[in-house]
Amino acid sequence: MKLVLASASPRRKELLKQIGIAFEAVSADIDENSRGFSDASEYVMEMARQKALLVAERLADQGEAQGLVLGADTTVVIDGEILGKPTDYDDAFAMIRRIQGKWHEVITGIALVDIKTLTPLVDKECTRVKIRAMTDEMIEAYLATGESFDKAGSYGIQGYGSLMVEKLDGCYFNVMGLPIYRLSTLLEKEGFTMLSWMRCKDKK
């Protein structure tokens, strides 16, 4: 079955390749403003659904008859407040200063939409992360790496940001932007056979 990733995120592409799933990637540009959402889980699941549905409708209009579109959206939550991607340097600085020395939650919504029926299957994953205590100079040094500006909460766990992460409770891949195990359970419900290459290898 064909899988289309409704994202241009290099991290999500990398994670799908890592588990051996063939896919195409199509960018989905939607308004990701969190205003109007008081619950972060509802917000990321709705964003994921909108991304997947947008691309699925576009492909259906182009004559695609079957396949699944995967949408995902990740946000950071601290003290009940949703922290999305920073708008500029000052916003990124304020976000990291806000989360430094504390625990926060990273929540990712994932959605699979059937191109033929446009029916969505939606779920979420939550991981708790503690960022080390940081001085303003340390925050400035991290911002100078350029990693912050396309990431929710203004940091990435897989790069220089790994030096900031003191503890983690939950799915590491979720913090990267795509909870692999949670995704695999949704794909299995839609007919994907996960780890099939391992079974083939065992039969040799």
Three-state secondary structure along 24-85? EECCCCCCCCCCCCCCHHHHHHHHHHHHHHHHHHHHHHCCCCCCEEEEEEEEEEECCEEECC
136 counts as catalytic: no
Q: Which of 29, 31, 39, 73 is catalytic?
A: 73
154 vs 16: CA distance, rounded Å: 23
Backbone angles phi, psi at 200, to 5 degrees: -60, -40
Residue 83's contacts (CB-CB under 8 Å, 6 or more residues apart) are 75, 76, 77, 95, 98, 99, 104, 152, 153, 154
Which sequence positions are flagged as catalytic?
73
